[in-house]
Chains A and B, each alone.
Chain A
Amino acid sequence: MNRLARLFAEKKKDVLNIYFTAGYPTLDSTVPIIRSLAEAGADLIEIGMPYSDPMADGETIQHSSSVALSNGMNLNLLVQQIAEARRHTEVPLVLMGYFNQVLQYGMERFVGAVAGAGIDGLILPDLPAYEYERDFRRLAEEADLQVSFLITPQTTDNRIREIARSSTGFLYVVSSSSITGGSSEISDKQRAYFDRIEKLGLDNPKLIGFGISDAATFRTACEYFNGAIIGSAFIRSLAGQESRVAEASREFVERILQPQEQ
Chain B
Amino acid sequence: MKNIAIDDRGYYGRFGGAYIPEMLHANVEELRRNYLTMMADPDFKQEFDLLMRDYVGRPSPLYYAERLSKHYGTQVYLKREDLNHTGAHKINNTIGQILLAERLGKKRIIAETGAGQHGVATATVCALKGLKCIVYMGEVDIERQAPNVARMRMLGAEVRPALSGSRTLKDATNEAIRDWINNPEDTHYIIGSVVGPHPYPDMVARFQAIISEETKWQLQEKIGRDYPDAIVACVGGGSNAAGAYYHYLNDERVRLIAVEAAGLGVDSGESAATSQLGTEGIIHGSRTLLMQTEDGQIVEPYSISAGLDYPGIGPLHAFLIDGKRAEAISVTDDDALAAALFVARQEGIIPALETAHAFAALDQMAYGPDDVVVVCLSGRGDKDLAAYSSYLDSVPLNPA
Are A and B associated in one complex? Answer: yes
Are the CB atoms of B177 and A55 closer together than 8 Å?
A: yes
Report B-chain residues with C-beta under 8 Å of the C-beta of A75.
295
Q: A66-B164, A154-B184 are in contact. Are A177 and B295 (CB under 8 A)?
A: no
Question: Any chain A CB within 8 A of the CB of B296?
Answer: yes
Rounded to whole angstroms, the CA-CA distance of A100 and B285 in the bound complex is: 10
Instruction: Name B174's contact: one of A55, A154, A178 (CB within 8 Å).
Output: A55
With a cutoff of 8 Å between Cβ atoms, the chain B residues found around residue A155 in the complex are 22, 25-26
- Beta-carbon contact of B21 and A99 below 8 Å: no
Q: A53-B165, A53-B283, A150-B21 are in contact. Are A104 and B292 (CB under 8 A)?
A: yes
Convert B4-29 into 0s and 1s, putting 1 for each residue whose CB lies closer than 8 angstroms to a CB of A: 00000100000001111111011100
Does A20 interact with chain B (Cβ within 8 Å)? no
- Residue from the set A75, A104, A151 with the largest chain B CB neighbour count within 10 Å: A104
| Chain-B contact segment, one of A38-46, A122-130, A231-239 | A122-130
Within 179-231 of A, Cβ neighbours of B (below 8 Å) are at: 179, 182
Complex Cα gap A238–B322 (Å): 45
Q: Is A56 an interface residue (CB 8 A)?
A: yes
- Point out the residue from B26, B181, B298 that lies within 8 Å of A56, measured CB to CB: B181
Q: A52-B298, A151-B22, A178-B23 are in contact. List 18 more A-B contacts (CB 8 A).
A: A52-B297, A56-B178, A62-B164, A100-B281, A100-B282, A100-B296, A103-B280, A104-B294, A105-B296, A125-B21, A126-B19, A128-B17, A128-B18, A152-B23, A152-B184, A154-B26, A163-B22, A178-B182
Min distance, Cβ B27 to any Cβ of chain A, angstroms? 8
B181-A177 in contact (CB<8A): yes
Q: CA A221 – CA B114 in complex, angstroms?
A: 41
Encode B169-185 as 1/0 by CB contact (under 8 A) with A: 01000100110011011
Shortest 4 CB-CB distances between A and B: which pairs? A104-B296, A154-B26, A125-B21, A52-B297
Q: Does A252 contact B (CB under 8 A)?
A: no
Question: Which residue, of B20, B22, B298, has the highest number of chain A Cβ atoms within 10 A?
Answer: B22
A69 and B297 contacting across the interface, CB-CB below 8 Å: yes
- The verdict on A55 contacting B296 (CB below 8 Å), with A177-B184, A178-B181 known, is no
Contacts of B285 in A (CB 8 A): 55, 126
- In B279-318, the 8 Å CB interface with A consists of 280-285, 292, 294-298
What number of A residues sit within 8 Å (CB to CB) of B? 40
The answer to whether B282 touches A152 (Cβ under 8 A) is no
In the complex, how many angstroms separate the beta carbon of A108 from the nearest chain B beta carbon? Answer: 16
CB distance from B362 to the nearest CB of A (A): 35
| Count of chain B residues with a beta carbon within 8 Å of a chain A beta carbon | 33
Residues of chain B within 8 A (CB-CB) of A104 are 281, 292, 294-296
Given A100-B296, A179-B181, do A56 and B23 touch, yes or no (CB 8 Å)?
Answer: yes
CA distance A179 to B285 in the complex (A): 16
Q: How far is the CB of B69 from chain A (nearest CB, A)?
A: 44
Residues of A within 8 A of B25 (CB): 152, 154-155, 159
Interface residues of A (CB under 8 A from B): 51-53, 55-56, 58, 62, 66, 69, 74-75, 98-105, 125-128, 130-131, 149-156, 159, 163, 174, 177-179, 182
Interface residue ranges of B182-203 to A (CB < 8 Å):
182, 184-185
Give, as a whole number of angstroms, the nearest-CB distance from B85 to chain A: 32
**B184 touching A126, Cβ below 8 Å:** no
Which of B9, B22, B178, B284 is close to A150, meaning CB atoms less than 8 Å apart?
B22
Assess whether A100 is in contact with B292, with CB atoms less than 8 Å apart.
yes
How far apart are the CA atoms of A69 and B295 in the complex, in Å? 11
Give the residues in chain A near B184, CB-CB below 8 Å: 152-154, 177
Q: Within the assembled complex, what's the spacing in Å between the Cα atoms of A151 and B178?
A: 17
Q: Which residues of A contact B18 (CB under 8 A)?
A: 128
The answer to whether B19 touches A51, judged by C-beta atoms less than 8 angstroms apart, is no
Please give, as numbers and ranges, the residues of chain B lying within 8 Å of A149 by CB-CB distance: 22
C-alpha gap A179/B164 in the complex (Å): 16
CB distance from B170 to the nearest CB of A (A): 7
Look across to chain B and name the residue whose beta carbon is closest to the beta carbon of A54.
B174
B291 → chain A, closest Cβ, in Å?
A: 11
Taking CB atoms and an 8 Å cut-off, the chain B residues in 133-173 that contact chain A are 164-165, 170
What residue in chain B is nearest A131 (Cβ atoms)? B17
Looking at B25, B184, B281, B283, which has the most chain A CB atoms within 10 Å of its CB? B25
B residues 1-60 in Cβ contact with A at 8 Å: 9, 17-23, 25-27
In this complex, what residue of B is CB-closest to A174? B23
Is the CB–CB distance between A53 and B298 below 8 Å?
yes
State A79–B200 Cα separation when bound (angstroms).
36
**With the chains together, A52 CA to B298 CA distance in Å?**
6
How distant is the Cα of A105 from the Cα of B19 in the complex, in angstroms?
17
Indicate whether A179 sits within 8 Å of B282 (C-beta atoms), given known contacts A103-B296, A150-B22.
no
CB neighbours of A152 from chain B (8 A):
22-23, 25-26, 184
In the complex, are the beta carbons of B292 and A128 less than 8 A apart? no
- Complex: chain A residue closest to B183, CB-CB: A177
Given A151-B22, A177-B181, A177-B184: A55 in contact with B295 (beta carbons within 8 A): no
- Which chain B residue lies CB-closest to A156? B26
Contact at B296–A126, with CB atoms within 8 Å?
Answer: no
Of B177, B178, B185, chain A has the most CB atoms within 10 Å of the CB of: B178
Determine which residue in A130, A151, A177 has the highest number of CB atoms from chain B within 10 A of its CB, and name it: A177
Residues of chain A within 8 A of B22, CB atoms compared? 125, 149-152, 155, 163, 174
Sampled A-B contacts (26; CB under 8 Å): A51-B296, A53-B170, A53-B283, A53-B298, A55-B178, A56-B23, A58-B178, A98-B296, A100-B281, A100-B282, A100-B296, A104-B295, A105-B296, A126-B19, A127-B19, A128-B18, A149-B22, A150-B21, A151-B22, A152-B23, A152-B25, A152-B26, A154-B25, A154-B184, A177-B182, A179-B182
Chain A hits for B297, CB < 8 A? 51-52, 69, 101
**Shortest Cβ distance from B30 into A: residue:** A154
